[in-house]
């Protein structure tokens, strides 16, 4: 057949190239033209700047003075040396690509061309004005020429930053400004001057241009943004130290060769800065104090040197500041960092937790302790019963949770667990549906004060809608499987397995008993524990917690257990059900938690127990049963899978041999449920690695590194 003999490149590569051309025509065309020209003139393997015709295609003040204005069009097509092609093409692909995705092709082409022309012409104009001064750097630079389109790409990235949501908008702007500033001050080439002008022009333009899709800003900096500014200042200082050490040059402030200091000293300083950065990122008060002290010392040293220099000049003394090319701008950055830290001091109130973190508005329940009247678990359970909750809300009453009760609000709460600097909230906020957004906002504010990253795990679409309005992100991590009870009938071919299980149980003398586990006879309780321990022992990994309960949780008298008993005492299997309260204080549904079967019991015992639970709980007035959502198991995303979707799918496949989440999800399809998506809600993609680690610790708090290494080893 023709399809079988079709080359793979045509089958796989060609559609991808076609899609890229349709979505990013300007970016692709620019990159291709630069590459083709490089191939044509041999610039990919020999320096273009060494060619005899280089001055005729390169732009700069000397070219313009000789009337070579065409270089404005020819210069962007070349790169000076072969190694320059890599950063130039990366800048085009990333920054022009970002701009084209956010602003569209016409806007991207316009800002790239305008940024390139503006930066080149303004640089030439500045050097024309400064070359007759005593500034050696300006004199030297006025006689040089340059090629490349990197200035236009940087301008496009700066303009496109306006269309990004916080904090990515600030991150991109700080990264561009830091790169341009450090390069100009400490490398100081003509291209660095053009880059600085392009970035500055692009950022200024965002304030008076109506950029398509520009994100709205409140004008006030949040705690996270103050922390980001403080971190950026320290990162900038570390970058200065590394650039002066590794890439000495001659910038506007002078020669930096030989001023980098010993390598060990630079690396030690960078390591110290990294420690402070980690603390400031989390809003730690201790890190703030140490950084303020360090900034103050450096700022005072700079002030002292400046005063001494001015006094010497006033007395007509010969004064020389050794290493001024590095010392002066670094002192300015230290002073600016000090100003940022003092102005944003309210963002750095978090203290390092000792044991379980205690922050205003949060209460912790003792681990594995019985609830008492003054216990936050009791308060949470009372609110849940009277206000109602979602299908997983009963899990918020389990041990090991911490609780956030909004100040001045007696009707809502969020249960969470803190691991790896992340507060993982379990499910939806409990309380009035209209208060979800406000409760989540105040929870996030509490996390910011405590230096924690907020997220909600296994949240419903209603909670996702509330966070979407707040600018959060979401990813589906599971699917709830819900059985509607009022019209349930086990008829038709789809229910054949369920009818077989009921008939088999009747034939074998297995009966179903629904009740409270704590009220069961001792022999039955012993068998329940034995079956559960047998199940845990077969997994190969520690028993999961968090959204997976066990026997101890099932002992709560408000829960129900379904028992498959042969005679009075021989137990074949057990299921436990959590109440789902409505606003009237009566369970409107039940959610499946524990599901265990005896290894040598009759095969369809689980189908029998779930089917019998449907009938028994419907007779008790329940409207629906939730078979819950298996973690990392779903029927598949309804949209084109993202990188995060693929990572979750791979993790689910790795966990499958140990916990059987996907097999369990497929098993539940026998009961013809409707599916409701369950989400992980988070503010920032950069937090996902920490959130992943925190979720791992929520589910497996006692797992050792050896246990965790089993997962990828088995999957590989």
DSSP designation for 540: S
pLDDT for residue 222 is more than 80: no
Of 301, 330, 351, which one is at a domain's C-terminal end? 351
Q: Would you say 703 and 500 are in contact if contact means Cβ atoms under 8 Å apart?
A: no
DSSP state of 398: S
Indicate the residue among 351, 366, 388 that finishes a domain: 351
> Domain for residue 124, yes or no?
yes
> What are the φ/ψ torsions at residue 682 (nearest 5 degrees)?
-150, 160
Confidence bin at 301 (pLDDT 50/70/90): confident
Say how far residue 6 (Cα) sits from the centre of its chain. 41
Task: For the beta carbon of residue 121, count every other beta carbon within 10 angstroms.
Answer: 15
648, part of any domain? no
- Residue 704 pLDDT more than 80? no
Banded pLDDT at 640 (limits 50, 70, 90): low
Res 327 pLDDT > 80: no
Among 300, 335, 351, the domain boundary falls at 351
pLDDT for position 156: 96
Question: Are both 151 and 289 inside the same structural domain?
Answer: no
The reply to whether 531 and 491 lie within a common domain is: yes
CATH of the domain at 92: 1.20.1540.10
Q: How confident is the model at residue 216 (pLDDT cuts 50, 70, 90)?
A: low
Give the CATH number, domain containing residue 667. 3.40.630.30
Residues 109 and 227 in one domain: no
Does residue 52 sit within a domain?
yes
Q: How sure is the predictor about 357, in pLDDT bands with cuts at 50, 70 and 90?
A: very low
Yes or no: say if 632 and 607 are a contact pair by the CB < 8 Å rule: no
Say if 322 falls within a structural domain.
yes
Digit-coded pLDDT (tens) for 507-536: 988 999 999 999 999 999 999 998 888 776
Q: Which two tokens stand for residue 84?
A: 């320059």
Beta-carbon count within 10 A of 486 CB: 8
- 13 is a domain residue: no
Number of compact structural domains in the chain = 3
Q: What residues have CB less than 8 Å from 181, skipping those under 6 apart?
A: 196, 236
pLDDT recorded at residue 712: 47
Q: Which of 47-51, 118-122, 218-222 has the highest mean pLDDT?
A: 118-122
Contact 168, 38 (CB under 8 A): no
- Name 571's bridge partners: 565
Q: Do residues 205 and 227 both lie within one domain?
A: no
Residue 370's pLDDT band, with cuts at 50, 70 and 90, is: very low
Phi, psi of 546 (to 5 degrees): 70, -85
CA-to-CA separations, 572 to 528, 536, 663, in angstroms, rounded: 9, 17, 21
If you search the block for the tokens 């068998």, which residue do you land on?
527
pLDDT at res. 715 = 42
User: Does residue 522 sit in the same domain as residue 543?
Assistant: yes
Q: Which helix (H) or strand (E) holds 513?
A: strand 510-515
Cis peptide leading into residue 116 (ω within 30°) = no
| Maximum Cα interatomic distance, the chain, rounded to a whole number of Å | 112
Contact yes or no for 578/593 (Cβ under 8 A): yes
Q: Which of residues 405 and 260 earns the better pLDDT score? A: 405
Cα 125 to Cα 60, 130, 144, 152, distances in angstroms: 10, 9, 13, 18
Which pair of structure tokens corresponds to residue 493? 């071919």
Q: What is the pLDDT of residues 68-105, one digit of tens each?
A: 999 999 999 999 999 999 999 999 999 999 999 999 99
Is it the case that residue 658 has pLDDT exceeding 60? no
- The two three-digit tokens of residue 53, written as one number: 């015709």
DSSP H/E element including 428: none
**Coil, strand or helix: which one is 452?**
coil
User: For residue 634, what pLDDT is reported?
Assistant: 58
Q: Which pLDDT score is estimated for 713? A: 45
Closest C-alpha among 628, 669, 505 to residue 573: 505
In a domain, 387, yes or no: no
Give residues with Cβ within 8 angstroms of 669, minimum separation 6.
481
pLDDT (mean) for 622-632: 81
- Count other Cβ atoms within 10 Å, centred on residue 199: 27
Question: Measured between alpha carbons, how far is 593 from 448 in angstroms, rounded to an integer?
Answer: 33
Cα dihedral 207/209/215/218 (nearest 10): 30
- Token match 């936050």: residue? 376
Instruction: pLDDT band for 371, please (50, 70, 90 cuts).
Output: very low
Is residue 481 helix, strand or coil? strand
**Average pLDDT, rounded, for the chain:** 83
Q: CA–CA separation, 63 vs 521, rounded Å? A: 97
* 8 A C-beta contact, residue 503 and residue 557: no
How many Å apart are CA 334 and CA 352, to the nearest integer?
Answer: 25
* pLDDT of amino acid 351: 67
Residues 175 and 227 in one domain: no
The upper half-sphere exposure of residue 128, i.e. CA atoms within 13 Å in the direction of its Cβ, equals 12
Residues 269 and 199 in one domain: no
How much is the pTM?
0.75
Determine, yes or no, domain membership for 4.
Answer: no
227 and 191 in a common domain: no
Pairing of strands 453-459, 422-426: parallel
Q: Is 441 domain-assigned?
A: no
Backbone φ and ψ for 638, nearest 5 degrees, come out as -80, -10
Write down the pLDDT at residue 714: 44
Q: Is 47 left (phi over 0), alpha (psi -120 to 50) or beta?
A: beta
Is residue 492 domain-shared with residue 610, that is, in the same domain? yes
Which of 9-18, 209-218, 274-283, 453-462 comes out lowest in average pLDDT?
Answer: 9-18
**Whether pLDDT at 293 is above 90:** yes
Which of the listed ranges 448-452, 465-469, 659-663 does the model predict with the highest average pLDDT? 465-469
User: What's residue 153's pLDDT?
Assistant: 96
Statement: residue 562 has pLDDT above 60: yes
Residue 248 vs residue 468, higher pLDDT: 468
How would residue 656 be classed by pLDDT, with cut points 50, 70 and 90?
very low
360, 455, 547, 639 from 99: Cα distances, Å: 42, 29, 42, 23
Do 192 and 81 belong together in one domain? yes
What does the DSSP assignment read for 560-622? EEEEEEETTTEEEEEEEEEEEE-TTSSEEEEEEEEEEE-TTS-TTHHHHHHHHHHHHHHHTT-
| 59 and 180 fall within a common domain | yes
Least confident of 157-171, 359-373, 619-633: 359-373
456 has which bridge partners? 425, 681
* Token digits of residue 494: 């789809």
Residue 591 has pLDDT above 90, yes or no: yes
Q: What is the DSSP string of 637-697?
A: -SS---HHHHHHHHHHHHHHHHH-HHHHHHHHGGG--EEEEEEEEES-GGGHHHHHHHHHH
Is residue 582 scored above 70 in pLDDT? yes
Within 10 A of 129 (CB to CB), how many other CB atoms are there?
Answer: 11
* pLDDT at residue 684, as a whole number: 86
CA distance 230 to 279: 11
On the question of pLDDT at 364 being above 60, the answer is no
What pLDDT, on the 0 to 100 scale, is given for residue 229?
A: 87
Report phi then psi at 591, rounded to 5.
Answer: -115, 130
Q: Is the same domain home to 271 and 211?
A: no
Rounded mean pLDDT of 272-287? 88
Tell me what percent of the residues of the chain surpass a pLDDT of 70: 81
Give the structural domain span for 171. 26-215
Pair 419, 694: CB distance under 8 Å: yes
Q: For residue 234, which phi and psi values (nearest 5 degrees)?
A: -70, -40
Alpha helices for 247-284 (secondary structure H):
263-281
| Residue bearing tokens 């033209």 | 33
Cβ–Cβ < 8 Å for 27, 100: yes
């Amino acid at each position: 057949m023709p399809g079988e003999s079709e080359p793979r490149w045509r089958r796989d590569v060609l559609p991808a190239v076609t899609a890229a051309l349709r979505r990013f025509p300007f970016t692709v065309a620019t990159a291709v033209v630069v590459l083709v020209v490089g191939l044509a003139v041999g610039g990919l393997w020999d320096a273009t700047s060494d060619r005899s015709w280089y001055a005729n295609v390169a732009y700069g003040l000397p070219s313009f003075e000789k009337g070579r204005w065409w270089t404005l069009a020819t210069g962007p097509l070349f790169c000076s040396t072969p190694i320059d092609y890599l950063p130039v093409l990366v800048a085009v692909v990333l920054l022009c690509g970002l701009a084209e995705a956010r602003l569209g092709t016409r806007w991207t082409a316009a800002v790239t061309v305008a940024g390139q022309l503006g930066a080149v012409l303004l640089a030439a104009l500045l050097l024309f004005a400064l070359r007759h001064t005593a500034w050696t750097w300006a004199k030297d630079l006025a006689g040089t020429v340059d090629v490349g389109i990197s200035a236009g790409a940087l301008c496009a990235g700066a303009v496109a930053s306006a269309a990004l949501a916080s904090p990515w908008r600030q991150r991109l702007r700080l990264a561009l400004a830091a790169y341009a500033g450090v390069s100009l001050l400490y490398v100081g080439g003509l291209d660095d001057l053009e880059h600085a002008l392009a970035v500055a022009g692009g950022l200024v333009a965002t304030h008076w241009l109506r950029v398509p899709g520009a994100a709205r800003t409140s004008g006030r900096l949040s705690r996270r943004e103050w922390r980001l500014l403080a971190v950026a200042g320290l990162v900038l200082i570390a970058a200065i130290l590394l650039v002066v050490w590794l890439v000495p040059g001659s910038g506007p402030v002078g020669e930096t060769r030989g001023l980098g200091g010993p390598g060990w000293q630079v690396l030690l300083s960078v390591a110290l800065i990294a420690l402070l950065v980690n603390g400031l990122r989390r809003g730690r008060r201790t890190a703030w104090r140490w950084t303020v002290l360090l900034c103050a010392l450096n700022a005072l040293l700079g002030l002292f040197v400046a005063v001494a220099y001015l006094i010497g000049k006033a007395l007509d003394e010969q004064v020389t500041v050794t290493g001024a090319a590095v010392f002066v701008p670094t002192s300015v950055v230290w002073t600016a960092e000090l100003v940022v830290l003092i102005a944003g001091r309210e963002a750095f109130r978090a203290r390092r937790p000792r044991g379980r973190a205690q922050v205003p508005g949060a209460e912790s329940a003792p681990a594995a302790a019985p609830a008492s009247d003054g216990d936050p678990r009791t308060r949470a359970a009372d609110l849940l019963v009277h206000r109602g909750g979602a299908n997983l809300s009963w899990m918020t009453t389990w041990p090991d949770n911490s609780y956030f009760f909004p100040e001045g609000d007696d009707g809502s709460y969020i249960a969470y667990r803190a691991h790896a600097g992340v507060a993982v909230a379990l499910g939806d906020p409990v309380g009035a549906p209209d208060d979800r957004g406000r409760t989540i906002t105040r929870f996030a504010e509490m996390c910011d004060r405590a230096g924690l990253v907020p997220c909600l795990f296994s949240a419903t679409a209603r909670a996702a809608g509330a966070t979407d309005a707040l600018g959060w992100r979401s990813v589906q991590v599971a699917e709830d499987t819900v059985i509607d009870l009022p019209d349930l009938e086990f008829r038709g071919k789809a229910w054949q397995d369920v009818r077989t299980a009921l008939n088999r149980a009747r034939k074998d003398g297995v009966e179903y008993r629904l009740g409270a586990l704590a009220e069961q006879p001792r022999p039955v309780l012993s068998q329940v524990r034995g079956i559960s321990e047998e199940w845990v022992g077969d997994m190969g990994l520690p028993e999961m917690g968090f959204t997976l309960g066990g026997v101890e949780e099932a002992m709560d008298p408000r829960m129900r257990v379904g028992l498959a008993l042969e005679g009075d005492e021989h137990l074949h299997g057990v299921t436990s059900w959590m109440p789902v309260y409505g606003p009237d204080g009566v369970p409107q549904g039940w959610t499946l938690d524990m599901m265990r079967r005896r290894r040598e019991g009759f095969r369809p015992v689980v189908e029998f127990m779930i089917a019998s639970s449907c009938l028994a709980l419907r007779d008790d007035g329940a409207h629906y049963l939730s078979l819950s959502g298996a973690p990392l198991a779903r029927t598949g995303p309804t949209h084109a899978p993202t990188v995060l979707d693929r990572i979750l799918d791979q993790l689910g496949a790795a966990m499958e041999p140990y916990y059987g989440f996907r097999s369990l999800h497929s098993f539940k399809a026998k009961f013809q449920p409707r599916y409701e998506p369950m989400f992980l809600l988070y503010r920032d993609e950069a937090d996902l690695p920490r959130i992943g680690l925190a979720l791992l610790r929520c589910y497996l708090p006692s797992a050792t590194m050896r246990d965790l290494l089993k997962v990828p080893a088995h999957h590989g």
